[in-house]
Amino acid sequence: MEIGTPHQTVNSNSMTSFGRVAKISFDPGANEAYLADGYSNRRVAVIDMDTGKIKRYWGAYGEPPVDGRLTPYHPDSALIRSFRNPVHCAEPSNDGLVYVCDRVNDRIQVFQKDGKFVKEQHIAPRTLGDGSVWDIAFSRDPQQKYLYLADGKNEHVYVMDRESLEILTQFGDGGRQPGQWFAVHSIATDSKGNIFTTETYEGKRVQKFVYLGLKPVTNKEQGVVWPKR
C-alpha cells in the first residue's frame, strides 16, 4: 500500500494509495482502521488491519469524494457538500458510529460505519483559517456519553453531549501556562477518564487533565483550569 508523498497526485477515489493521512483510529472488533485521509485527499478510508487494503471510503455526507479547487470557507455561506483539507479525524464509537473532523468547515459529521450519513454539527462557525474541529475523544463510560473536542484555533476543549452534539461546557484558553494551549492539536482519554492534549506549531507540549468525577456545570465557559494546591 502506497502512503503517498507531497508530490503525489491527489486522488480521493484511489483504492491503492492515500493522500497525506492526518490520523488513524481503530476498531479492533471489526479488525478495521479508520483513516482521516486527510491533508491532500478529502475522505474517510477504512482498511483491513491485516492486509492494509482499502475496504471502503466516503466523502462528506457519505457521497463520493471530490478533488479540485473549492470556494473559500465563509461562515455565512451554505455548507458545501465536500470535506475541506484537512479531514483531521475519523473516530469510531462503541455504538457503531463514526465521528469525522471536517476541520476548516468547522463541523463534525457523523456516519454509520458503512459510510451512511447520520447528522452534522457546526462548531464555532465564524472560525476562519485553521478551523475549529481538530480532534475528538470520547468519555470512558460504556455509553461514551460525552465527546471531547479539541479546537486548536480558538484554544478550547469542548465537552459535548455525544448524542445531541450540544456543547455543555468548555475550558482552556491560549497561552503558555498550565491549562492553556498554543494550538491544541490532539486529544485522548485513558482508562481512568483522564484527558491528554498535545499542541502543534510552537506549543510543543503534552498536558494531562485529571478526571475528578461528574457534577452539574452552570458555567459554559470555565476558562483556564489552573492546578490547585
Per-residue pLDDT in tens (0 to 9) along the chain, 229 residues: 444 455 567 999 999 999 999 999 999 999 999 999 999 999 999 999 999 999 999 999 999 999 999 999 999 999 999 999 999 999 999 999 999 999 999 999 999 999 999 999 999 999 999 999 999 999 999 999 999 999 999 999 999 999 999 999 999 999 999 999 999 999 999 999 999 999 999 999 999 999 999 988 888 999 998 765 5
Contact in structure between 86 and 103 (CB atoms under 8 Å): yes
Residue 86 lies in a domain: yes
Contact in structure between 133 and 126 (CB atoms under 8 Å): no
Note every long-range contact of 203-212, with CB atoms under 8 Å and residues 24 or more positions apart, other chains counting.
205/181, 207/178, 207/179, 207/181, 209/179
Please give the tally of structural domains in the chain: 1
176 vs 190: CA distance, rounded Å: 24
Residue 214 lies in a domain: no
Alpha-carbon distances, residue 144 vs 147, 161, 186, 193 (angstroms): 7, 9, 18, 11
Contact in structure between 148 and 137 (CB atoms under 8 Å): yes
Residue 58 lies in a domain: yes
Q: What is the CATH number of the domain that holds 25?
A: 2.120.10.30
State the pLDDT at residue 172.
95
State the pLDDT at residue 1.
46
Residue 160 lies in a domain: yes
Length of the chain: 229
Grid cell listed for 30: 471489526
- Output the CA angle 141-186-183, nearest 5 degrees: 135
Residue 10 lies in a domain: no
Domain that holds residue 127: 21-209
Strands (E), the chain: 21-27, 32-37, 43-48, 54-58, 87-92, 97-102, 107-112, 117-122, 135-138, 146-151, 156-161, 167-171, 173-174, 180-181, 184-189, 195-199, 206-209
Residue 226 lies in a domain: no
Residue 12 lies in a domain: no
Residue 14 lies in a domain: no
Put simply, whether the predicted model's pTM sits higher than 0.85 gets the answer yes
- Output the CA angle 34-153-111, nearest 5 degrees: 30
Report phi then psi at 61, rounded to 5. Answer: 60, 20
